[in-house]
Amino acid sequence: MILTTAEENYLKAIYHLSDEGKKSVSTNDIAAEMKTKPASVSDMLRKLGEKSVIEYRKYYGVHITEEGKKLALQTIRKHRLWEVFLVEKLNFAWDEVHEVAEELEHIQSPLLIQRLDAYLNFPKFDPHGDPIPDEYGDVRSRPRIQLNEMEIDQSGQIAAVKDSSAAFLRYLDKVGAYIGARIKVLDKVEFDGSLEILVDQKKTLFMSKDVASNILVLQS
């Protein structure tokens, strides 16, 4: 099955929304994610349904099919490999890669991706800590917990960020939080859920619950 760029983008959005544990994904949610109107989504769902990459029952939201999942994971694989390339080889900052990767992921060339993967030494994670699916669509996912859900005195390593917006990533740069950093929860404020964190055994950091909820931790 060959998809257009627009179809790939929609399918990726549906995959990501499905991944949040929902039974089915709504038209409105897709429209919000894609920054299009619900009417445009309805139209696209019909097309994706005809191509059997989603299961679509009018008025009842969509489910991604196995084939759809495979295709979405291929696009995600390409996106994340390009992000690694941009950061590792072209010295992009991790907050500068998303938009460009959003375009690069649609280049059609299996050879290109295979070679890029080898050239980057078969990376397993992208610059935001997200796992890179292999060429068969398999993702090795590790159990990660949101930082705001950790208890006092628990420790771990920053594994990934949920929000990849430039604003959030630059904030993390500024306070010295990075993928792989060792952290420990020193204190949690009852009132607003904000936290005091020890980073790399030396630096203390205060952050809101909102910030913490966008940091994923590998517990140890």
Partner DNA sequence: TTATTTTTTTAGCCTTATCTAATTTCGTAA
Partner DNA sequence: TTACGAAATTAGATAAGGCTAAAAAAATAA
Residues at the interface with a second copy (CB under 8 A): 86, 89-92, 96, 99-100, 103-104, 107-109, 111-112, 115-116, 119
What DSSP string describes 122-179?
--SB-TTSPBPP-TT----PPP-EEGGGPPTT-EEEEEEES---HHHHHHHHHHT--T
Q: In a 3-state reduction of DSSP, which class is residue 55?
A: strand
| Per-residue binding letters, 21-50, with Mn ion (x by CB under 5 A) | ------------------------------
Residues 6+ apart with CB under 8 A from 57: none
Q: Please list, residue by residue across 164-176, b when 16 or more beta carbons sit within 10 angstroms of its beta carbon and e when fewer do.
A: beeebbebbeeee
Residue ranges in 127-156 that form contacts with Mn ion under rule CB under 5 A: 128
Q: Residues 215, 158: contact at Cβ < 8 Å?
A: yes
Which residues share a beta bridge with 56?
Answer: 62
Q: By CB under 7 A, is residue 53 in contact with DNA? A: no
- Min dist CB 146 to a second copy, Å, is 32
Does residue 41 interact with DNA by CB under 7 A?
Answer: yes
- What H or E segment, with its residue span, contains residue 81? helix 66-88
Q: How many chain residues interact with Mn ion (CB under 5 A)?
A: 5
| Binding letters toward DNA, positions 56-75, x by CB under 7 A | x-xxxx--------------
**89 lines the binding site for DNA (CB under 7 A):** no
Select 9 or 214, whichever has its Cβ closest to Mn ion.
Answer: 9
Between 29 and 105, CB nearer to a second copy: 105
Among DNA, Mn ion, a second copy, none, the one that 59 touches (CB under a kind-dependent 5 to 8 A) is: DNA
| Closer Cβ to DNA, 58 or 203, answer by number | 58
Strand pairing partners for 207? 195
The contacts found for 31-35 with CB under 8 angstroms, 24 or more apart, are: 34/9, 34/10
Q: Are β-strands 195-199 and 54-56 bridged in parallel, bridged antiparallel, or unpaired?
A: unpaired
C-beta closer to a second copy: residue 1 or 112:
112
Give the shortest CB-44-to-DNA separation in angstroms.
6
User: Does position 4 bind DNA by CB under 7 A?
Assistant: yes
Q: In this structure, are residues 174 and 203 in contact, taking their beta carbons and an 8 Å threshold?
A: no
Residues forming the site for DNA (CB under 7 A): 4-7, 10, 26-28, 35-47, 56, 58-61
